[in-house]
Structure 1
Amino acid sequence: MSIFDDFSRFLETRLDEFLKAHPHLELMALEEQLRGQEEDAIATLTTLKQRETELEAAVLETAQDIKRWHERIAKAEAANRLDLVKPAQEREATLLRQGNHLWGQMKSVKSRLAQTHALRQQIQSKRQELKTKMAAAAAQAAQPPPRDSSTTGWNRSPFPAKPLDPLEESFQRWETEAELEELKRQMGK
């Protein structure tokens, strides 16, 4: 395992060095990572919203059942049916515990929804900042490098460039052709 760990560390180090040498690629990798996190947050939000809807429906249904059993208890007591009162009260107590449990789950889901929504907003803001940095880096890369004024003169000829006059150009061409012909004759010997 240590060989794989060493190799893994070596690759991570090389990747870090490469990304530091190419900051635009590092920014692109960060943007991709943030995009993936935002997609995960969106999927989590969708799942949580579905669960919230399911829990709300279950809480409402349980509340209706509790109300129905509460009315049955009142009817059984009014009719002096003690054989039905005790089991109905037990059923109502079970439904109340179930309703409390569902209510707690719903509050938990709502809390997670709020946290996930806040996380998504943070991710979106980080992505926007990163896009701004990427645009600035791209604009900076598109600009020519600044010229160093201390070496500017070294790249210039001390003599101003003069346009060749047609006669000079003709003589230079004729002289070059003559030298080429001479070279061909010498090589042919």
Structure 2
Amino acid sequence: MSWLEELESRLEQQLEAFLASNPAQDALLREQEARDRQARLIGRRRQLQLEAEQRRNRLLELAGEIRQWRERVARARRAGAHELAERAEAHGASLMDQGRRQWLQLEGLGREFAELEGQLSELGDLAGRQRAAKASPSDSQADLERAWAAFETEQELEQLRRRQG
């Protein structure tokens, strides 16, 4: 093990010990990591959306080119230029293959986008649970405060009854 690996290992152990003894810092670190991950995922989502838009535009261009070459094939056949029609037909088939590849790539982007949305949703659910966990102590403290106020009121009423009774 090199000195750099040893140093890294030692620092990692110290960090783990620090976080174990400081749960609030551990929670802050986890929240920051979740925010960083969410930011990366959102950036990747934007990138996927742009790429998908470019692929859709390319597919539309290919569709126009294919239509144009089919018309040329038909014109060449009507004119009796069979060799030219065959070459144009081969070019149209090549364009169709390009379109299929573009479509498959677009489907792959769609799957990746759906997976990414799932990860973002999980992060949102986790953040919601963390907020709820943070809110719970204050909610229970508020309940305790209300219970204590009710107890004190009851005690004061008992004292008043004894004095009058």
**Root-mean-square deviation (CA), in Å?**
2.0
Question: Which residue in the other structure is 1:15 paired with?
Answer: 15
Q: Following the alignment from structure 1 to structure 2, what is the Cα–Cα distance between the partners of residues 46 and 80?
A: 51
Q: Following the alignment from structure 1 to structure 2, what is the Cα–Cα distance between the partners of residues 114 and 107?
A: 11
- Contact persistence 1:66–1:92 (CA under 8 A): yes
Secondary structure at the counterpart of residue 80 of structure 1: coil
- Contact persistence 1:27–1:134 (CA under 8 A): no
Q: CA deviation at 1:94?
A: 1.1
Question: Which residue in the other structure is 1:130 paired with?
Answer: 130
CA offset digits 1:78-136 (Å, max 9, x no partner)? 12111311210111011011111111111111111111111111111112222333444
Q: 1:40-189, aligned counterparts within 5 Å?
A: 40-136=40-136, 139=138
Question: Which residue in the other structure is 1:30 paired with?
Answer: 30
Q: Following the alignment from structure 2 to structure 1, what is the Cα–Cα distance between the partners of residues 55 and 35?
A: 30
- Contact persistence 1:24–1:134 (CA under 8 A): no
Which 5+ residue runs of structure 2 have no aligned equivalent? Answer: 143-165
CA offset digits 1:112-167 (Å, max 9, x no partner)? 11111111111111122223334446x49x99xxxxxxxxxxxxxxxxxxxxxxxx
Q: CA deviation at 1:65?
A: 0.8
- TM-score scaled to structure 2, two decimals? 0.78
- TM-score scaled to structure 1, two decimals? 0.69
Q: Following the alignment from structure 1 to structure 2, what is the Cα–Cα distance between the partners of residues 49 and 40?
A: 14
Secondary structure at the counterpart of residue 39 of structure 2: helix
Runs of 4+, deviation exceeding 6 Å: none
- Contact persistence 1:73–1:89 (CA under 8 A): yes
Q: State percent identity of aligned pairs.
A: 23
Q: Following the alignment from structure 1 to structure 2, what is the Cα–Cα distance between the partners of residues 56 and 68?
A: 18
The structure whose residues are more often helix, as a share, is: 2
**Matched residue count:** 141
Letter in 2 for 1:107: E
